[in-house]
Amino acid sequence: EAGVVQSPRYKIIEKKQPVAFWCNPISGHNTLYWYRQNLGQGPELLIRYENEEAVDDSQLPKDRFSAERLKGVDSTLKIQPAELGDSAVYLCASSPGTGGREQYFGPGTRLTVT
């Protein structure tokens, strides 16, 4: 069984440029999460989807971040425009459901904004 797939693995952009990350969850997993992990910190939830519905986006900086999961499968996270402070690892995870179900993480995308 394939794991959670993310691309790109690494991205370097200049500030004020847009950037997008893509995630394909494990087949059959209804729940998809986007996390941001700053250096030396634990991941922080940005947004959680149940199928195509964003059920928790309270920590998503909506002025510059957007996400979509149109068909309830793969998802895209976008930053426009990027700022220096957005440099971090962006992790996608999926789960077969909620209620304490195990989350499976992708390899992450390491973003560097210069």
Angle at 8 between CA 60 and CA 98, to 5 degrees: 45
* String of contacts with other proteins for each residue 70-89, x by CB under 8 A: -------------------x
Is 99 near other proteins (CB under 8 A)? Answer: yes
Q: Which stretch binds other proteins (CB under 8 A): 19-27, 62-70, 74-82, 94-102?
A: 94-102
Is 61 near other proteins (CB under 8 A)? Answer: no
| Closest separation in Å from C-beta 113 to other proteins | 16
What does DSSP say about strands 31-37 and 88-95: parallel, antiparallel, or unpaired? antiparallel
Report the b/e string of 74-105 with b at 16+ CB within 10 A: ebebebeebeeebbbbbbbbbbeeeeeeeebe
Residues that bind other proteins (CB under 8 A): 9, 33, 37, 40-45, 56, 89, 91, 93, 98-100, 102-108, 110
